[in-house]
A and B are shown apart, each in its own frame.
Chain A
Protein backbone atom coordinates (compact mmCIF):
# COMPACT_ATOMS: atom_id res chain seq x y z
CA UNK A 1 0.00 0.00 0.00
CA UNK A 2 1.30 3.46 -0.87
CA UNK A 3 0.44 6.94 0.28
CA UNK A 4 0.06 8.42 3.74
CA UNK A 5 -3.09 7.96 5.75
CA UNK A 6 -4.81 11.05 7.10
CA UNK A 7 -4.05 11.88 10.71
CA UNK A 8 -6.10 9.85 13.14
CA UNK A 9 -7.03 7.28 10.48
CA UNK A 10 -6.00 3.67 10.52
CA UNK A 11 -5.60 1.15 7.75
CA UNK A 12 -8.24 -1.43 8.56
CA UNK A 13 -8.03 -3.74 5.57
CA UNK A 14 -7.19 -7.35 6.14
CA UNK A 15 -6.30 -10.40 4.07
CA UNK A 16 -7.58 -13.93 3.99
CA UNK A 17 -4.89 -16.33 2.73
CA UNK A 18 -5.10 -19.91 1.66
CA UNK A 19 -5.21 -22.66 2.51
CA UNK A 20 -2.35 -22.87 0.01
CA UNK A 21 -3.02 -26.55 -0.61
CA UNK A 22 -6.44 -25.63 -2.01
CA UNK A 23 -5.61 -22.24 -3.56
CA UNK A 24 -2.01 -22.65 -4.82
CA UNK A 25 0.17 -19.59 -5.37
CA UNK A 26 1.61 -18.57 -8.73
CA UNK A 27 5.22 -19.26 -9.68
CA UNK A 28 7.43 -17.31 -9.53
CA UNK A 29 6.48 -15.10 -6.59
CA UNK A 30 8.25 -12.75 -4.23
CA UNK A 31 6.14 -13.40 -1.16
CA UNK A 32 4.55 -16.46 0.42
CA UNK A 33 2.25 -15.65 3.32
CA UNK A 34 1.36 -18.11 6.01
CA UNK A 35 -2.12 -19.56 5.73
CA UNK A 36 -4.64 -17.20 7.32
CA UNK A 37 -8.00 -18.80 6.50
CA UNK A 38 -11.32 -17.19 7.25
CA UNK A 39 -12.34 -20.18 9.36
CA UNK A 40 -9.50 -19.50 11.79
CA UNK A 41 -10.47 -15.83 12.04
CA UNK A 42 -14.08 -16.69 12.81
CA UNK A 43 -13.39 -19.54 15.23
CA UNK A 44 -15.39 -22.75 15.47
CA UNK A 45 -18.35 -21.39 17.42
CA UNK A 46 -19.02 -18.37 15.22
CA UNK A 47 -18.33 -20.42 12.11
CA UNK A 48 -21.00 -22.86 13.23
CA UNK A 49 -23.45 -19.99 13.61
CA UNK A 50 -22.60 -18.72 10.10
CA UNK A 51 -23.03 -22.17 8.61
CA UNK A 52 -26.32 -22.60 10.44
CA UNK A 53 -27.77 -19.91 8.13
CA UNK A 54 -25.61 -20.03 4.99
CA UNK A 55 -26.14 -23.74 4.47
CA UNK A 56 -27.25 -23.97 0.84
CA UNK A 57 -26.51 -22.12 -2.41
CA UNK A 58 -27.80 -18.57 -2.04
CA UNK A 59 -29.81 -16.29 -4.26
CA UNK A 60 -29.50 -12.50 -4.02
CA UNK A 61 -32.98 -10.99 -3.79
CA UNK A 62 -32.01 -7.32 -3.73
CA UNK A 63 -29.41 -4.75 -2.72
CA UNK A 64 -29.86 -1.40 -1.04
CA UNK A 65 -27.63 1.19 0.61
CA UNK A 66 -28.61 3.13 3.72
CA UNK A 67 -26.60 6.29 4.46
CA UNK A 68 -26.43 6.86 8.21
CA UNK A 69 -25.46 10.16 9.86
CA UNK A 70 -23.19 8.65 12.49
CA UNK A 71 -19.80 7.13 13.13
CA UNK A 72 -19.66 3.50 12.05
CA UNK A 73 -18.95 2.28 15.58
CA UNK A 74 -22.30 3.59 16.80
CA UNK A 75 -24.02 1.31 14.33
CA UNK A 76 -21.84 -1.65 15.29
CA UNK A 77 -22.68 -1.01 18.95
CA UNK A 78 -26.36 -0.97 18.04
CA UNK A 79 -26.12 -4.33 16.29
CA UNK A 80 -23.99 -5.79 19.09
CA UNK A 81 -26.36 -4.62 21.77
CA UNK A 82 -28.53 -7.62 22.55
CA UNK A 83 -30.69 -5.65 24.95
CA UNK A 84 -32.29 -2.75 23.10
CA UNK A 85 -34.03 -4.57 20.26
CA UNK A 86 -37.10 -5.82 22.08
CA UNK A 87 -37.41 -2.60 24.11
CA UNK A 88 -37.15 -0.08 21.26
CA UNK A 89 -38.74 -1.88 18.36
CA UNK A 90 -42.50 -2.22 18.76
CA UNK A 91 -42.64 -4.88 16.08
CA UNK A 92 -40.31 -7.15 18.01
CA UNK A 93 -42.05 -6.70 21.35
CA UNK A 94 -45.67 -6.70 20.28
CA UNK A 95 -45.45 -9.62 17.90
CA UNK A 96 -43.03 -11.57 20.12
CA UNK A 97 -40.39 -11.94 17.43
CA UNK A 98 -37.76 -11.28 20.06
CA UNK A 99 -38.25 -10.48 23.74
CA UNK A 100 -35.90 -10.77 26.66
CA UNK A 101 -38.38 -13.10 28.36
CA UNK A 102 -37.84 -15.61 25.58
CA UNK A 103 -35.02 -18.12 25.47
CA UNK A 104 -31.67 -17.71 23.76
CA UNK A 105 -28.45 -15.98 24.64
CA UNK A 106 -25.35 -14.35 23.30
CA UNK A 107 -22.20 -15.99 21.98
CA UNK A 108 -19.07 -13.85 22.07
CA UNK A 109 -15.88 -15.01 20.35
CA UNK A 110 -12.83 -15.48 22.59
CA UNK A 111 -11.23 -12.23 21.35
CA UNK A 112 -14.51 -10.34 21.76
CA UNK A 113 -14.69 -9.20 18.15
CA UNK A 114 -17.46 -11.42 16.82
CA UNK A 115 -20.82 -12.28 18.31
CA UNK A 116 -24.07 -14.09 17.67
CA UNK A 117 -27.25 -13.48 19.63
CA UNK A 118 -30.20 -15.80 19.38
CA UNK A 119 -33.85 -15.81 20.35
CA UNK A 120 -35.71 -19.06 20.89
CA UNK A 121 -39.46 -18.99 21.32
CA UNK A 122 -40.70 -20.40 24.60
CA UNK A 123 -44.20 -21.73 25.09
CA UNK A 124 -44.49 -20.00 28.45
CA UNK A 125 -43.71 -16.61 26.88
CA UNK A 126 -46.75 -16.62 24.62
CA UNK A 127 -48.91 -15.22 27.41
CA UNK A 128 -46.20 -13.47 29.38
CA UNK A 129 -47.37 -10.06 30.57
CA UNK A 130 -43.94 -8.94 31.79
CA UNK A 131 -43.56 -6.21 29.13
CA UNK A 132 -47.11 -4.96 29.59
CA UNK A 133 -46.89 -5.00 33.38
CA UNK A 134 -43.81 -2.79 33.26
CA UNK A 135 -45.22 -0.44 30.65
CA UNK A 136 -42.46 -1.12 28.14
CA UNK A 137 -43.21 0.86 24.99
CA UNK A 138 -42.45 -1.96 22.59
CA UNK A 139 -45.54 -3.93 23.59
CA UNK A 140 -48.60 -2.22 22.24
CA UNK A 141 -51.68 -4.08 23.38
CA UNK A 142 -54.14 -2.69 20.85
CA UNK A 143 -51.75 -2.90 17.94
CA UNK A 144 -52.78 -5.45 15.31
CA UNK A 145 -51.94 -6.01 11.67
CA UNK A 146 -54.67 -5.83 9.03
CA UNK A 147 -52.68 -8.39 7.04
CA UNK A 148 -50.70 -10.64 9.43
CA UNK A 149 -49.16 -12.62 6.56
CA UNK A 150 -45.97 -10.65 7.33
CA UNK A 151 -45.68 -12.67 10.55
CA UNK A 152 -46.19 -16.05 8.89
CA UNK A 153 -42.80 -17.53 9.76
CA UNK A 154 -41.61 -21.12 9.47
CA UNK A 155 -38.80 -22.79 11.42
CA UNK A 156 -36.74 -23.43 8.29
CA UNK A 157 -33.56 -24.42 10.14
CA UNK A 158 -35.42 -26.77 12.46
CA UNK A 159 -33.80 -25.53 15.67
CA UNK A 160 -36.43 -23.14 17.01
CA UNK A 161 -34.14 -20.11 16.69
CA UNK A 162 -36.40 -17.40 15.33
CA UNK A 163 -33.83 -14.64 15.37
CA UNK A 164 -30.06 -14.68 15.05
CA UNK A 165 -27.92 -11.58 14.66
CA UNK A 166 -24.26 -12.31 14.01
CA UNK A 167 -21.35 -9.91 13.62
CA UNK A 168 -17.80 -10.43 12.44
CA UNK A 169 -15.29 -7.77 13.44
CA UNK A 170 -15.17 -5.06 12.30
CA UNK A 171 -18.19 -4.46 10.11
CA UNK A 172 -19.99 -7.57 8.88
CA UNK A 173 -23.50 -8.54 9.96
CA UNK A 174 -25.43 -11.71 9.09
CA UNK A 175 -29.09 -11.44 9.96
CA UNK A 176 -31.81 -14.06 10.32
CA UNK A 177 -35.07 -12.57 11.50
CA UNK A 178 -37.64 -15.33 11.08
CA UNK A 179 -37.22 -16.15 7.37
CA UNK A 180 -35.74 -12.79 6.44
CA UNK A 181 -32.07 -13.31 5.65
CA UNK A 182 -29.62 -10.53 4.87
CA UNK A 183 -26.01 -9.48 5.01
CA UNK A 184 -25.22 -5.94 6.14
CA UNK A 185 -21.79 -4.44 5.49
CA UNK A 186 -20.67 -1.41 7.46
CA UNK A 187 -18.73 1.09 5.32
CA UNK A 188 -17.24 4.08 7.18
CA UNK A 189 -17.51 7.39 5.28
CA UNK A 190 -15.60 9.66 7.63
CA UNK A 191 -15.85 10.39 11.35
CA UNK A 192 -19.58 11.10 11.34
CA UNK A 193 -21.02 9.24 8.38
CA UNK A 194 -21.29 5.68 7.20
CA UNK A 195 -23.12 3.50 4.74
CA UNK A 196 -24.87 0.26 5.44
CA UNK A 197 -24.88 -2.03 2.42
CA UNK A 198 -27.81 -4.44 2.55
CA UNK A 199 -27.96 -7.65 0.56
CA UNK A 200 -31.25 -9.52 0.90
CA UNK A 201 -30.82 -13.26 0.54
CA UNK A 202 -32.81 -16.38 -0.12
CA UNK A 203 -31.80 -19.85 -1.16
CA UNK A 204 -31.53 -20.92 -4.80
CA UNK A 205 -33.96 -23.77 -4.16
CA UNK A 206 -36.64 -21.71 -2.37
CA UNK A 207 -40.21 -22.61 -3.25
CA UNK A 208 -42.46 -19.81 -4.54
CA UNK A 209 -44.17 -19.80 -1.17
CA UNK A 210 -40.89 -19.30 0.68
CA UNK A 211 -39.76 -16.65 -1.80
CA UNK A 212 -42.95 -14.69 -1.19
CA UNK A 213 -42.61 -15.15 2.57
CA UNK A 214 -39.11 -13.65 2.46
CA UNK A 215 -40.29 -10.74 0.30
CA UNK A 216 -43.04 -9.93 2.80
CA UNK A 217 -40.80 -10.29 5.83
CA UNK A 218 -38.20 -8.01 4.23
CA UNK A 219 -40.53 -5.19 5.29
CA UNK A 220 -38.97 -5.62 8.73
CA UNK A 221 -35.47 -4.63 7.63
CA UNK A 222 -33.58 -2.20 5.43
CA UNK A 223 -33.94 1.61 5.26
CA UNK A 224 -37.75 1.34 5.33
CA UNK A 225 -37.92 -1.64 7.69
CA UNK A 226 -40.44 -1.62 10.50
CA UNK A 227 -37.51 -2.51 12.76
CA UNK A 228 -34.41 -1.26 10.96
CA UNK A 229 -35.62 2.24 10.11
CA UNK A 230 -35.40 3.01 13.81
CA UNK A 231 -31.80 1.84 13.94
CA UNK A 232 -31.23 4.20 11.00
CA UNK A 233 -32.00 7.30 13.03
CA UNK A 234 -30.90 6.46 16.59
CA UNK A 235 -27.20 6.59 15.66
CA UNK A 236 -27.70 10.15 14.44
CA UNK A 237 -29.44 11.06 17.70
CA UNK A 238 -26.45 9.77 19.67
CA UNK A 239 -23.94 11.42 17.31
CA UNK A 240 -25.60 14.80 17.80
CA UNK A 241 -25.93 14.22 21.53
CA UNK A 242 -22.29 13.38 22.20
CA UNK A 243 -21.06 16.27 20.03
CA UNK A 244 -22.03 18.61 22.87
CA UNK A 245 -20.13 16.60 25.49
CA UNK A 246 -16.81 15.71 23.90
CA UNK A 247 -14.86 15.37 27.16
CA UNK A 248 -17.62 13.89 29.31
CA UNK A 249 -17.95 10.19 29.94
CA UNK A 250 -20.31 7.82 31.62
CA UNK A 251 -20.12 4.08 32.07
CA UNK A 252 -22.90 1.54 32.46
CA UNK A 253 -21.62 -1.88 33.47
CA UNK A 254 -24.68 -3.85 32.46
CA UNK A 255 -23.90 -7.49 33.10
CA UNK A 256 -20.48 -6.75 34.62
CA UNK A 257 -17.17 -6.12 32.88
CA UNK A 258 -16.52 -9.34 31.03
CA UNK A 259 -17.18 -10.26 27.44
CA UNK A 260 -18.01 -13.92 27.77
CA UNK A 261 -20.88 -15.82 26.19
CA UNK A 262 -24.04 -15.77 28.30
CA UNK A 263 -27.41 -17.48 28.49
CA UNK A 264 -29.17 -14.13 28.64
CA UNK A 265 -29.35 -11.21 26.27
CA UNK A 266 -29.84 -8.73 29.12
CA UNK A 267 -26.15 -7.92 29.04
CA UNK A 268 -23.67 -5.76 27.17
CA UNK A 269 -21.08 -8.54 26.90
CA UNK A 270 -20.96 -8.36 23.11
CA UNK A 271 -20.63 -4.57 23.12
CA UNK A 272 -17.72 -4.79 25.55
CA UNK A 273 -16.21 -7.52 23.39
CA UNK A 274 -16.24 -5.17 20.40
CA UNK A 275 -14.42 -2.44 22.29
CA UNK A 276 -11.84 -4.87 23.66
CA UNK A 277 -11.10 -6.04 20.12
CA UNK A 278 -11.13 -2.48 18.76
CA UNK A 279 -8.66 -1.24 21.38
CA UNK A 280 -6.36 -4.17 20.75
CA UNK A 281 -6.34 -3.68 16.98
CA UNK A 282 -5.80 0.05 17.45
CA UNK A 283 -2.86 -0.62 19.78
CA UNK A 284 -4.47 1.10 22.74
Chain B
Protein backbone atom coordinates (compact mmCIF):
# COMPACT_ATOMS: atom_id res chain seq x y z
CA UNK B 1 0.00 0.00 0.00
CA UNK B 2 2.78 2.41 0.96
CA UNK B 3 4.86 1.27 -2.00
CA UNK B 4 1.88 1.91 -4.22
CA UNK B 5 1.47 5.48 -2.91
CA UNK B 6 5.17 6.27 -3.35
CA UNK B 7 5.14 4.86 -6.86
CA UNK B 8 2.07 6.92 -7.73
CA UNK B 9 3.70 10.07 -6.35
CA UNK B 10 6.84 9.46 -8.40
CA UNK B 11 4.79 8.81 -11.52
CA UNK B 12 2.73 11.98 -11.07
CA UNK B 13 5.89 14.01 -10.40
CA UNK B 14 7.63 12.77 -13.54
CA UNK B 15 4.53 13.30 -15.70
CA UNK B 16 4.10 16.89 -14.46
CA UNK B 17 7.64 17.73 -15.54
CA UNK B 18 7.67 15.78 -18.81
CA UNK B 19 4.24 17.13 -19.84
CA UNK B 20 5.47 20.69 -19.17
CA UNK B 21 3.05 21.27 -16.32
CA UNK B 22 5.85 22.84 -14.29
CA UNK B 23 3.46 25.16 -12.45
CA UNK B 24 2.23 22.05 -10.61
CA UNK B 25 5.73 20.94 -9.67
CA UNK B 26 5.98 22.94 -6.38
CA UNK B 27 2.74 21.31 -5.17
CA UNK B 28 4.55 18.00 -4.79
CA UNK B 29 6.48 19.52 -1.89
CA UNK B 30 5.69 20.61 1.66
CA UNK B 31 6.42 24.19 2.67
CA UNK B 32 9.14 24.53 3.90
CA UNK B 33 10.92 21.72 2.09
CA UNK B 34 14.31 20.88 0.66
CA UNK B 35 14.84 20.27 -3.05
CA UNK B 36 18.43 19.91 -4.13
CA UNK B 37 20.16 18.62 -7.24
CA UNK B 38 23.66 17.40 -6.49
CA UNK B 39 26.15 14.73 -7.55
CA UNK B 40 26.98 11.39 -5.98
CA UNK B 41 30.47 12.71 -5.33
CA UNK B 42 29.26 15.77 -3.39
CA UNK B 43 26.67 13.65 -1.58
CA UNK B 44 29.28 11.10 -0.49
CA UNK B 45 31.65 13.83 0.71
CA UNK B 46 28.92 15.68 2.58
CA UNK B 47 29.34 18.82 0.44
CA UNK B 48 26.02 20.55 0.67
CA UNK B 49 25.85 22.93 -2.29
CA UNK B 50 23.43 22.07 -5.05
CA UNK B 51 23.01 22.88 -8.72
CA UNK B 52 19.51 23.84 -7.63
CA UNK B 53 18.83 24.57 -3.97
CA UNK B 54 15.35 25.42 -2.73
CA UNK B 55 14.10 25.27 0.83
CA UNK B 56 10.65 26.76 0.38
CA UNK B 57 7.81 26.18 -2.06
CA UNK B 58 8.26 29.82 -3.06
CA UNK B 59 11.79 29.11 -4.26
CA UNK B 60 10.42 26.26 -6.38
CA UNK B 61 7.81 28.61 -7.86
CA UNK B 62 10.60 31.11 -8.60
CA UNK B 63 12.45 28.42 -10.57
CA UNK B 64 9.43 27.87 -12.76
CA UNK B 65 8.80 31.61 -13.19
CA UNK B 66 12.44 32.15 -14.20
CA UNK B 67 12.22 29.43 -16.85
CA UNK B 68 8.99 30.87 -18.20
CA UNK B 69 9.83 34.57 -18.07
CA UNK B 70 13.44 35.40 -17.44
CA UNK B 71 15.96 32.85 -18.67
CA UNK B 72 17.25 32.34 -22.19
CA UNK B 73 17.91 28.74 -23.22
CA UNK B 74 17.11 26.42 -26.09
CA UNK B 75 13.72 24.79 -25.97
CA UNK B 76 13.87 21.25 -24.66
CA UNK B 77 11.82 18.55 -22.97
CA UNK B 78 12.63 15.62 -20.71
CA UNK B 79 11.51 12.03 -20.56
CA UNK B 80 11.86 10.61 -17.04
CA UNK B 81 12.07 6.89 -16.46
CA UNK B 82 11.66 6.28 -12.73
CA UNK B 83 12.53 2.93 -11.19
CA UNK B 84 11.14 1.08 -8.22
CA UNK B 85 11.49 2.76 -4.82
CA UNK B 86 13.28 1.12 -1.91
CA UNK B 87 11.16 2.23 1.04
CA UNK B 88 11.67 2.48 4.76
CA UNK B 89 9.13 4.04 7.11
CA UNK B 90 10.37 6.14 9.99
CA UNK B 91 9.22 6.26 13.59
CA UNK B 92 8.15 9.91 13.14
CA UNK B 93 5.64 8.92 10.48
CA UNK B 94 7.79 10.14 7.59
CA UNK B 95 8.48 7.80 4.71
CA UNK B 96 11.97 7.45 3.32
CA UNK B 97 12.66 6.12 -0.12
CA UNK B 98 15.45 5.83 -2.60
CA UNK B 99 14.42 5.60 -6.23
CA UNK B 100 16.59 5.39 -9.35
CA UNK B 101 15.84 7.60 -12.34
CA UNK B 102 17.00 8.21 -15.86
CA UNK B 103 16.28 11.36 -17.88
CA UNK B 104 16.55 11.73 -21.66
CA UNK B 105 16.69 15.31 -22.92
CA UNK B 106 15.11 16.01 -26.30
CA UNK B 107 16.06 19.26 -28.01
CA UNK B 108 13.86 21.13 -30.44
CA UNK B 109 15.86 19.84 -33.42
CA UNK B 110 15.22 16.25 -32.31
CA UNK B 111 18.59 15.56 -30.69
CA UNK B 112 18.15 13.04 -27.89
CA UNK B 113 20.73 12.70 -25.14
CA UNK B 114 20.96 10.63 -22.02
CA UNK B 115 21.02 13.72 -19.84
CA UNK B 116 21.07 12.41 -16.28
CA UNK B 117 20.96 9.24 -14.23
CA UNK B 118 20.86 8.99 -10.49
CA UNK B 119 18.61 8.39 -7.51
CA UNK B 120 16.04 10.37 -5.65
CA UNK B 121 16.72 10.29 -1.91
CA UNK B 122 13.36 11.29 -0.48
CA UNK B 123 11.59 11.99 2.75
CA UNK B 124 7.81 12.13 2.34
CA UNK B 125 4.99 13.01 4.72
CA UNK B 126 1.23 12.75 4.52
CA UNK B 127 -0.48 16.14 4.34
CA UNK B 128 -4.26 15.84 4.46
CA UNK B 129 -4.26 12.55 2.60
CA UNK B 130 -1.64 13.61 0.02
CA UNK B 131 1.90 12.32 0.16
CA UNK B 132 4.37 15.17 -0.36
CA UNK B 133 8.14 15.55 -0.45
CA UNK B 134 9.56 17.13 2.65
CA UNK B 135 12.95 16.51 1.15
CA UNK B 136 13.93 15.42 -2.34
CA UNK B 137 17.65 15.12 -2.97
CA UNK B 138 18.36 14.47 -6.62
CA UNK B 139 21.69 12.68 -6.50
CA UNK B 140 23.08 12.48 -10.02
CA UNK B 141 25.61 9.72 -10.73
CA UNK B 142 27.80 12.08 -12.74
CA UNK B 143 29.09 15.50 -11.66
CA UNK B 144 29.06 16.72 -15.25
CA UNK B 145 26.14 18.54 -16.83
CA UNK B 146 25.93 19.03 -20.57
CA UNK B 147 25.56 22.76 -21.42
CA UNK B 148 22.91 23.69 -18.86
CA UNK B 149 20.25 22.35 -16.57
CA UNK B 150 17.08 24.39 -16.88
CA UNK B 151 14.11 22.11 -16.29
CA UNK B 152 14.11 20.42 -12.88
CA UNK B 153 14.96 16.72 -12.57
Contacts and interface: CB of A to CB of B under 8 A. Distances in A.
Interface of A: 60-69, 88, 90-91, 94, 140, 143, 145-147, 149-150, 195, 200, 211-212, 214-216, 218-219, 222-224, 226, 229-230, 232-234, 236
Interface stretch (B70-78, B86-94, B95-103): B70-78
B59 A64 contact: no
Interface in B33-83: 37-39, 41-42, 47-59, 61-62, 65-66, 69-74
Given A145-B58, A215-B50, A218-B50, A65 B65 contact: no
Given A140-B69, A145-B62, A233-B72, A66 B50 contact: no
3 smallest CB-CB distances across A and B, nearest first, come from A62-B49, A147-B58, A146-B58
B61 A63 contact: no
B51 A224 contact: yes
23 contacts: A61-B49, A62-B49, A62-B50, A63-B39, A65-B145, A66-B145, A67-B144, A140-B69, A143-B65, A146-B59, A146-B65, A150-B59, A215-B53, A218-B53, A219-B52, A219-B54, A223-B145, A224-B51, A224-B52, A229-B150, A230-B73, A233-B73, A233-B148
Contacts of B37: 224
Interface of B: 37-39, 41-42, 47-59, 61-62, 65-66, 69-74, 143-150
Given A145-B58, A224-B150, A233-B74, A63 B143 contact: yes
Contact of A67 (B52, B62, B72, B146): B146
B47 A60 contact: yes
A127 to B, nearest CB: 21
The prevalent SS among residues of B at the interface is: mixed
A68 to B, nearest CB: 6
B71 A229 contact: yes
B53 A64 contact: no
A63 B56 CA distance: 23
Contacts of A94: 70
A215 B48 contact: yes
A163 B41 CA distance: 29
A143 B68 CA distance: 11
A132 to B, nearest CB: 15
Given A150-B59, A230-B73, A67 B147 contact: yes
A61 B42 CA distance: 9
Contacts of A147: 56, 58-59, 61-62
A62 B48 contact: yes
Given A88-B72, A146-B58, A195 B144 contact: yes
Contact of A232 (B52, B143, B147): B147
B83 to A, nearest CB: 23
B97 to A, nearest CB: 24
Contacts of B74: 233
Contacts of A90: 66, 69-71
Nearest to B61: A146
Nearest to B147: A232
Contacts of B52: 219, 224
